[in-house]
Amino acid sequence: MSTSVPDEAPIPVYDLSINVRTAWYAHSLSNAGTDGSIRLLPRRQLLADGTATDACSGNIAKHYHAVLLAEYFEGAGVALCAACRTRDGRRAAALAERNGDRRMTIDSILVNCGLCDAHGFLITARHGMAAGRGEARQRIAKHSLIEFSYALALPDRQAESVQVATRGGGSKEGGQMLMKMPARSGEYALCVRYRGVGVGADTDSWRLVVDDAGERRTRHRAILAALRDALLSPQGAMTATMLPHLIGLSGAVVVRTTAGRAPLYSPLVDGFVAHLTSLAAPSCAVYPFATVVEFQAVMDTLIETSFPCLPATGTGQMPPVHEVGGRDRRT
C-alpha cells in the first residue's frame, strides 16, 4: 500500500523506517575531533565502491532527538526520571550511581521515565562487597527503540570549505587562536528505525509494562513528533554558529503494521524510493515524499492517527513446529 499521505484511519505501528535524502549546506554537524588545537576534523567514511565520503554520526542525531523528546514529554505530562529531567545522557544508569537504589527494577524505570523507555539505558551488573564495590546489583537494560544510521554524503554531491575562525586561547595570557573549521555541504543518505511495539515494553522478555494504551500512545506521538522535528530542524555539533541550511528532503516513510520489520533501503542508491514503493503490502505501508512539505504532511498524519502495536508474543501467530527427531549435526 503506497500513498503520499496516510489515511485518517488509525494506523498500528509495529516498526517504522524513514529512508531519506536530506540536503544540508554549510554545516559541521558531526566531527571527528581536532588535530591538536588548530583544525577541526570532518568525519569520513570509506564506501564499498572505493570512495571516501563525508559522514555524520548517528550518535549525535540520537542525542539531540533525546533532548527534544524530553521537551515533548514534559509538555505532554509524561514522567521523566531525575536523570532525564536534567538531560543526563546516562539516563537510569546515573540514578543507580547517585543513589545506589536497590529498588530500581525494569518496571519502575519504564513506568517512571518515558525517555529511558524510548532511548534505552544500561545499568551494569555489579558483583558486590567482595569486589569492594558496594552493594551487588543485577544488570537492567533496555535497547533503544530509535536507531539513527550514519548520514553518508552522496559522493558526487558533496563539498567542503575550510573556514578560519578564532577562539579563545588556552594559555594564561589569553588572546585569540586561529582555528580551521570545515563547512560541509551535500546531500546525505540517512535511515532511521523506530520500533513502536517496544513503547512501554521490556524488550528482553517482551512483557508489556506500561499497559495504559493512552500513555503508550502519548509517548509514541511524542517520539514521532521529535523525529519529524529532528529532520526538519537539524541539530548537532557547531550549530550555534553554523546552523545548517536545509535545502531539500526526499524519501519514504515505511510502516509495518504487524509483527516484523519495516524495510530499509539505502538512499545512497538512486531509485531507492521506487524500490521501497515496490515492497508495499497489506501489512507494509509506504509513504513517499519529495519535499519538506510532503514529509511534514506524512509525519503529521502519522502523529495524529497512528498508535503503537502490542507485542506479538502469546498471540499464537507463529505456526507450530513439529520435532523431526533431534539428530545432532555436529561431530
The 10 Å CB-count burial string (b at 16+, else e) for 125-162 is ebeeeeeeeeeebeebbbebbbebbbbbbbeeeeeeee
Q: Minimum Å distance from CB 228 to another protein? A: 19
Complex with another protein: residue 75 or 271, whichever CB lies closer? 271
Taking the C-alpha atoms of residue 223 and residue 307, their distance in angstroms, rounded to an integer, is 11
Query: Is the separation of the CB atoms in 197 and 276 below 8 Å?
Result: no
Q: What is the 8-class DSSP label of residue 19?
A: E
Least distance from C-beta 72 to another protein, angstroms? 22
Q: How far is the CB of 48 from another protein (least distance, A)?
A: 4
Q: Are strands 121-123 and 207-208 parallel, antiparallel or unpaired?
A: unpaired
Minimum distance between the CB of residue 315 and another protein, rounded to whole angstroms?
9
Between 263 and 288, whose beta carbon lies closer to another protein? 263
In the complex, least distance from residue 255 CB atom to another protein, rounded to whole angstroms? 14
Considering beta carbons, is residue 46 or 159 the nearer one to another protein?
A: 46
CB 10 within 8 A of CB 219: no
| Smaller CB separation from another protein, 172 or 327 | 327
Beta carbon nearer to another protein, 244 or 267: 267
Complex with another protein: residue 116 or 218, whichever CB lies closer: 116
Which one, of 143, 141, 138, 185, lies nearest residue 163 by Cα? 185
Bridge partners for 54 per DSSP? 44
C-alpha cell at 219: 509517548
CB of 293 to another protein, least distance (A): 25
